[in-house]
Amino acid sequence: MPELPEVEVVRRGLERWVAHRTVAGAEVLHPRAVRRHLAGADDFTHRLEGHRIGAPSRRGKYLWLPLEDTPQAILAHLGMSGQLLIRPRTAPDEKHLRIRVRFADTPASADTDAAGTELRFVDQRTFGGLSLHDTTPDGLPDVIAHIARDPLDPLFDDEAFHQALRRKRSTIKRALLDQSLISGVGNIYADEALWRSRLHYDRPTAGFTRPRTLELLGHVRDVMTAALAVGGTSFDSLYVNVNGESGYFDRSLDAYGREGLPCRRCGTPMRRRPWMNRSSYFCPRCQRPPRVSS
DNA sequence: CAAGGCTCCTGATAGC
DNA sequence: TGCTATCAGGAGCCTT
């Protein structure tokens, strides 16, 4: 399940293999993959043709490929199971291939041995997709203006995040997953950062002290940086990075998926609790629930 | 307006 | 064997 580190790995792959190539054509094999492109699949493909791709950017779990000659960008979200693969044009289609983008071979692509390859969006569960949007003056696709900066962004404002937590009448894991407060954190890294911080997921944010917020942010950054160093992660075999190699980091997980296994800090069996139609993993001893439970 | 819940989707797996 | 139930969960959208 791609979160910020995995998406960043994909972004770097695209920088290597796709930037500065010109789109020759695109093919949408499943309409749901472009459902965020409201004008439809035909409009999506027609408007891509002939444009040259710029340097890929990312905010949180969104990444986008700017078109160099127009203030627009191809926005991508991988959802649960999305992959962006660079494959030889001659490679057989993947079972869940949703979108194919072909490129014109140019001297630029020949220089990087990218010639003869195409970009494929493969997505089993179809929660992800591509779409084309206008970009704001700072280069951000307009439809993700509500997405907050992510914790690895140098312009992320720790103090503003802390004040936002204080104003909320919510609990900490909900806040971590709220992409309008802090982006890029999903269920896995939320549980990991909370475990490192010894915080229970249901702890109200309103009472957070500044040191507590800053420590949590530090752990969020640490766990993401560690995952990035290993090449992103997804013990989920569905996840493959842009070069088609599977990444991951599963051996470094301290909380997620460890129900019944001993806490790596105190040895107490880890627990799993149903939470927001998913799961939260935590140590019942290190991460004590708040006194007043919702 | 904020907070919380519902829903989209497919495949692996467990249970009967 | 073959069916059904459950789980995985990001984020837009809906309800309260």
pLDDT at A91: 92
Distance A112 CA to C13 C1' (A): 43
Distance A205 CA to B15 C1' (A): 40
Mean pLDDT taken over chain A:
90
Q: What is the pLDDT of residues A87-140, one digit of tens each?
A: 999 999 999 999 999 999 876 666 567 889 999 999 999 999 999 999 999 999
**Closest nt by CA–C1' to A171:** B3
For residue A58, pLDDT beyond 70: yes
Q: Strand B nucleotides below 7 A of a protein CB?
A: 2-11
For residue A234, pLDDT beyond 50: no
Side-chain half-sphere exposure of A161, counting CA atoms within 13 A: 26
> What tokens appear for A58 in the block?
């990312």
For residue A74, pLDDT beyond 90: yes
With cut-offs at 50, 70 and 90, classify the pLDDT of residue A233.
very low
Helix axes A187-197, A210-229, angle to 10 degrees: 130
Percentage of residues of chain A with pLDDT beyond 90: 78
pLDDT at A110: 61
**Closest nt by CA–C1' to A124:** B10
Q: Is the CB of A166 under 7 A from strand B?
A: no
Q: Is the CB of A46 under 7 A from strand B?
A: no
Closest residue (CA to C1') to nucleotide B4 in the complex? A276
* Cβ count within 10 A of residue A116: 13
Q: Is the CB of A131 under 7 A from strand C?
A: no
**Closest nt by CA–C1' to A170:** B3
Q: Is the CB of A286 under 7 A from strand C?
A: no
Q: Is the CB of A61 under 7 A from strand C?
A: yes
Q: Is the CB of A124 under 7 A from strand B?
A: yes
Closest residue (CA to C1') to nucleotide C10 in the complex? A79
Q: Strand C nucleotides below 7 A of a protein CB?
A: 7-12
Distance A87 CA to B1 C1' (A): 47
Q: What is the pLDDT of residues A255-281, one digit of tens each?
A: 999 999 999 999 999 999 988 889 999
Residues lying close to strand C (Cβ under 7 A), chosen from 145-184 of chain A, are 146, 177, 179
Residues of A known to be catalytic: 2-3, 61, 278
With cut-offs at 50, 70 and 90, classify the pLDDT of residue A240.
low
> What tokens appear for A91 in the block?
């490679």
pLDDT at A242: 56
pLDDT at A232: 52
Average pLDDT of A151-176?
97
The pTM score is 0.92
Per the model's pLDDT, the better-predicted residue between A254 and A230 turns out to be A254
pLDDT at A252: 80
Q: Is the CB of A156 under 7 A from strand B?
A: no
pLDDT at A191: 96
Q: How far apart are CA A17 and CA A12, in angstroms?
A: 9
Average pLDDT of A132-160?
96
pLDDT at A189: 94
